[in-house]
């Protein structure tokens, strides 16, 4: 028996709707935007319908401002390299995933100045330090919404309002919150949102994208065929074509649409509350196991559906491997592509064990997981 608790990496199982619609797309054929024949036109309509669904999820009224990429990392790179250039200044946090940290490192080597707002456990983002960090050449603010290690949420409303007051666009990495929390760009002060399709939106891997506000424009990250203005040597300057060169993952995007339809039918709030209830059960049970150290607080209702823990000073990889090999429990152990956040938590050497249930997870599976952690604790400590 396998108990899958690694939905923070990729959601599983996928709704049946995702599988069915991907099979339909494979059977239908066609390359969206590449030809005027019937199957190509239907493939293009299928992609556009998913743009419309995502527009509903993210509270925008222009589906063409949903740009598809292969994943959230590509989306973030598209935004960062599409805005920043030598001599610019960008503000970010000390919690970031390497999807932000590494491209910013490249840009820093190219002459972009980077300010990382410090924090500590329980106060992960200093709004005072942030407000004082703006310069005349500040061109972008970029942060994640929720830590992929601990689930802690950053105060994105305040971050966005301050940036908006300075006239600086705000790029939000919603890798752990897209499909989990309502992200309505009509009310949320976010100008560009990067999302993965394969996590909270319940779609397949190889999908993701950007939602770009009306007042933002990006230089293309990749140039090439778009199926439009083919007579020109230059890239089209309108969305989504300007940022969507090459053949789209039409089958994957169709599957993403199936995931979003399922999510809308279930109700995003209902799914999130269910996942947070499961996380609270994990937290409450872990607190009674000797040697457990929890990260990110003990109130699951205030964070993304992630529970991070360690057993004493034991290497988290040892604990994760035991849970997998001896009990069939799939977690994520070690470092989580976010070294600055691990340094903040004091876990850069030990890592953490991350448990991230989905609403498909059962209370019985949570109970079995707690029993397994208790046995591992007894054996190792």
Task: List where CATH 3.90.1150.10 sits in the chain.
Answer: 268-380
- Residue 15: predicted pLDDT: 97
Residue 342: φ, ψ to 5°: -65, -35
User: Both tokens of residue 328?
Assistant: 């069939």
CATH classification (class only), 268-380: alpha beta
pLDDT value at position 128? 96
Dist CA 323 CA 321 (whole Å): 5
What average pLDDT does range 313-332 have in this prediction? 98
| Alpha helices (H) in 84-234, listed in sequence order | 98-109, 127-131, 156-165
Q: What number of other Cβ atoms are within 10 A of residue 61's Cβ? A: 10
Looking at domain 16-266, its CATH architecture is 3-Layer(aba) Sandwich (3.40)
The mean pLDDT of 102-115, rounded to a whole number, is: 98
CA distance 46 to 48: 5
Cα(235)–Cα(163) distance, integer angstroms: 30
Q: 315: buried, middle or exposed (CB in 10 Å: 19+, 13-18, 0-12)?
A: middle
pLDDT of residue 172: 98
Element (H, E) at 222: none
| Nearest residue to 259 (alpha-carbon basis) of 204, 202, 207 | 202
Q: Where in the chain is the domain with CATH 3.40.640.10?
A: 16-266
Structure tokens given for 248: 């789209």
Collapsed DSSP state (helix, strand, coil) of residue 329: strand
Q: What percent of the chain has pLDDT over 90?
A: 92
- Name the band, by pLDDT with cuts 50, 70 and 90, for residue 31: confident
Residues 6+ apart with CB under 8 A from 345: 121, 149, 150, 295, 352
- Say what the pLDDT of residue 304 is: 97
Q: What is the C-alpha separation between 216 and 312, in angstroms, rounded?
A: 47
pLDDT of residue 123: 85
- The DSSP letter of residue 238 is S
What's the N-to-C CA distance of the chain in angstroms? 26
> Is a pLDDT exceeding 80 seen at residue 35?
no
Q: How much is the pLDDT for 30?
A: 83
Check pLDDT > 90 for residue 134.
yes
Distance CA 311, CA 373 (A): 9
Task: Give the pLDDT confidence score for residue 216 in this predicted structure.
Answer: 94
Task: Spell out a b/e string for 226-254, using b for 16 or more CB atoms within 10 Å of the CB, else e.
Answer: bbeeeeeeebbeebbbbbbbeebbbbbbb
Pairwise pLDDT comparison (228 vs 114), residue with the higher score: 114
Closest CA to 163 of 211, 122, 207, 215: 215
pLDDT tens digits along 262-288 = 999 999 999 999 999 999 999 999 999
pLDDT band at 37 (very low <50, low <70, confident <90, very high): confident
DSSP string, 290-315: TTEEEES-S-GGGS-S-EEEEETT--
Between strands 66-69 and 208-212, the pairing is antiparallel
SS3 content of the chain, % helix, strand, coil (to 5): 40, 15, 45
Write down the mean pLDDT value for the chain.
Answer: 96
Kind and range of the H or E element at 355?
Answer: strand 352-355
Q: Tens digit of pLDDT for each residue in 51-73? A: 999 999 999 999 999 999 999 99
pLDDT at 77: 98
Quote the tokens at residue 95.
């919690």
| 3-state DSSP assignment of residue 50 | helix
Q: Token pair for residue 371? A: 């029993």
pLDDT of residue 121 exceeding 90, the answer is: no
User: What digits encode the pLDDT tens for the residues 349-367?
Assistant: 999 999 999 999 999 999 9
Please report which confidence band the pLDDT of residue 318 belongs to, taking 50, 70 and 90 as the band edges. very high
Predicted pLDDT of residue 107: 98
């Amino acid at each position: 028996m396998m108990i899958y608790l690694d939905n923070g990496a990729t959601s599983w199982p996928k709704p049946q709707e995702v599988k069915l619609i991907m099979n339909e797309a494979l059977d239908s054929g066609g390359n969206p935007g590449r030809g005027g024949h019937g199957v190509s036109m239907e493939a293009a309509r299928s992609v556009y319908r998913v743009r419309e669904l995502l527009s509903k999820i993210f509270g925008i009224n222009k589906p063409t401002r949903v740009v598809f990429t292969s994943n959230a990392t590509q989306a973030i790179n598209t935004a960062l390299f599409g805005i920043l250039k030598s001599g610019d200044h960008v503000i970010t946090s000390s919690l970031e995933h390497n999807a932000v940290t590494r491209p910013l490192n490249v840009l820093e080597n190219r002459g972009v100045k980077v300010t990382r707002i410090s924090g500590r456990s329980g106060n992960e983002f200093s709004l005072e330090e942030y407000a004082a960090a703006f310069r005349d050449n500040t061109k972008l603010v970029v942060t994640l919404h929720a830590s992929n290690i601990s689930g802690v949420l950053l105060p994105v409303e305040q971050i966005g309002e301050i940036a908006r007051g300075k006239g600086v666009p705000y790029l939000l990495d919603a890798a752990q919150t897209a499909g989990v929390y309502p992200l309505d760009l009509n009310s949320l002060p976010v100008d560009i949102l990067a999302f993965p399709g394969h996590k909270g939106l319940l779609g397949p891997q190889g999908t993701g994208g950007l939602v770009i506000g009306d007042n933002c424009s990006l230089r293309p990250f990749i140039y090439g065929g778009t199926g439009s203005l083919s007579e020109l040597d230059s890239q089209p300057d309108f969305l989504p074509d300007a940022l969507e060169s090459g053949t789209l993952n039409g089958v994957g995007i169709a599957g993403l649409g199936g995931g979003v339809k399922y999510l809308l039918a279930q109700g995003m709030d209902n799914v999130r509350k269910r996942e947070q209830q499961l996380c609270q059960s994990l937290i409450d049970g872990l607190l009674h196991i000797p040697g457990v150290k929890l990260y990110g607080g003990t109130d699951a209702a205030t964070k993304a559906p992630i529970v991070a823990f360690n057993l004493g000073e034991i290497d988290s990889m040892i604990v994760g491997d035991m849970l997998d090999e001896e009990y069939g429990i799939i977690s994520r152990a070690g470092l989580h592509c976010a070294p600055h956040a691990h340094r903040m938590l004091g876990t850069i050497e030990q890592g953490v064990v991350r448990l991230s249930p989905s609403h498909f997870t059962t209370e019985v599976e949570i109970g079995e997981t707690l029993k397994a952690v208790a046995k591992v604790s007894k054996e190792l400590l």
